Amino acid sequence: MAQILDGKRVRDEILAGLAPRIQTLKRKPGLAVVLVGDNPASHVYVSSKVKTCLELGMHSEKLTPPASIATGALLDIVHDLNSNADIDGILVQMPLPAGIDSQRVLDAIAPEKDVDGFHPVNVGNLSIGRPGPRPCTPSGVMELLRRYQIPLAGKHAVVAGRSDIVGKPMAMLLLQANATVTICHSKTADLEAECRRADILVGAIGRPAMLTRAHMKPGAVMIDVGINEVRDREQAAAIFGEGSDKMSAFDKRGSVLVGDMHPYHAAEVSSFWTPVPGGVGPLTIAMLMSNTVDAAERRQ
């Protein structure tokens, strides 16, 4: 039976490791989160980021301009934060409302305060192996693999998904750890065959339970980044089966979270796997905190 890679445990370890570093800094590390408009999911994400900051004894500022803000005014907010000495990290919560030029906003963040690691300078730093903030979700996956001592050098890693925030940086980090890396996407000719070659398979597609045992090599490591809210009862029952605990939860809440991998297949076939929720998800905020503390140490 496969072993669970416990993201909550690793998150707690990462945060515990940050506490003494925060205490030795002269000034509290500061994170500014800019939340434009009132997207409910974004509000939940931002609240938990701010809460984690406060629990760690960090300084945090939340700016909440309305959805009607113009790109120019949002750029002014970012420029102010760039020159604010109390702020080490700036995070502009995505997605931004339609009409705002997201790329211009992200490009305006000072690279040394770009704790999401999305600025082109930091994408370049990652690509050529220079230090700098790395995107939080893929670097969280690397921490998980490292702390469970899963060997990567010489292994074949397949990353399903090529987004700028997950798939591409994930592939780059695995490459730097000396894995042989294949990146798959929606135009990949034979996704099953590519995925079945993986010693380490990363699902970052955004399609519930799309990767099944047909995509999984027995004994491989399954890293499921996908977080998909399934609201269709039939779809949920097809994945979890009637009478399962997950379906009881669905009937109470009207939805259930499903990764990109079929959870039963991943648990049966793999050596190690990340459940959803509780696998990769908790690591993203931990790595955001870690990037902010790194930035504060560099600036101080």
When asked if residue 225 is in the footprint of ligand NDP (CB under 6 A), the reply is yes
* Amino acid found at 221: V
- Smaller CB separation from ligand NDP, 36 or 209: 209
Single out the catalytic residue among 6, 88, 114, 116.
Answer: 116
Task: Determine whether 74 is exposed, middle or buried from the number of CB atoms within 10 Å of its CB (0-12, 13-18, 19+).
Answer: buried
Selected binder of ligand NDP within 126, 205, 236, 287 (CB under 6 A): 205
Q: Nearest distance from residue 117's CB to ligand NDP, in Å?
A: 13
Q: Nearest distance from residue 20's CB to ligand NDP, in Å?
A: 26
Question: Where is 227: in which H helix or E strand?
Answer: none
* 256, 261, 262, 264: CA torsion to nearest 10: -100
Nearest partner of 182 among 168, 276, 114, judged by Cα: 168
31 three-class SS: strand
When asked if residue 191 is in the footprint of ligand NDP (CB under 6 A), the reply is yes
When asked if residue 161 is in the footprint of ligand NDP (CB under 6 A), the reply is yes
When asked if residue 201 is in the footprint of ligand NDP (CB under 6 A), the reply is no
Report how far residue 228's alpha carbon sits from residue 206's, in angstroms, rounded to the nearest whole number: 6
When asked if residue 187 is in the footprint of ligand NDP (CB under 6 A), the reply is yes
Pair of tokens at residue 9: 């445990």
When asked if residue 206 is in the footprint of ligand NDP (CB under 6 A), the reply is yes
222 three-class SS: strand
DSSP state of 254: S
- Contact predicate 160/260, CB 8 Å: yes
When asked if residue 48 is in the footprint of ligand NDP (CB under 6 A), the reply is no
Pair of tokens at residue 129: 């192996």
- Smaller CB separation from ligand NDP, 30 or 138: 138
Q: Nearest distance from residue 275's CB to ligand NDP, in Å?
A: 12
Selected binder of ligand NDP within 46, 78, 184, 256 (CB under 6 A): 184
When asked if residue 207 is in the footprint of ligand NDP (CB under 6 A), the reply is yes
Report how far residue 60's alpha carbon sits from residue 54's, in angstroms, rounded to the nearest whole number: 7
Is 49 a known active-site residue?
Answer: yes
Across the beta sheet with 30-34, what order do the strands follow?
Answer: 59-63, 30-34, 89-92
When asked if residue 91 is in the footprint of ligand NDP (CB under 6 A), the reply is no
Single out the catalytic residue among 49, 155, 168, 217.
Answer: 49
- Smaller CB separation from ligand NDP, 69 or 225: 225
When asked if residue 280 is in the footprint of ligand NDP (CB under 6 A), the reply is yes
Annotated catalytic residues are 49, 93, 116
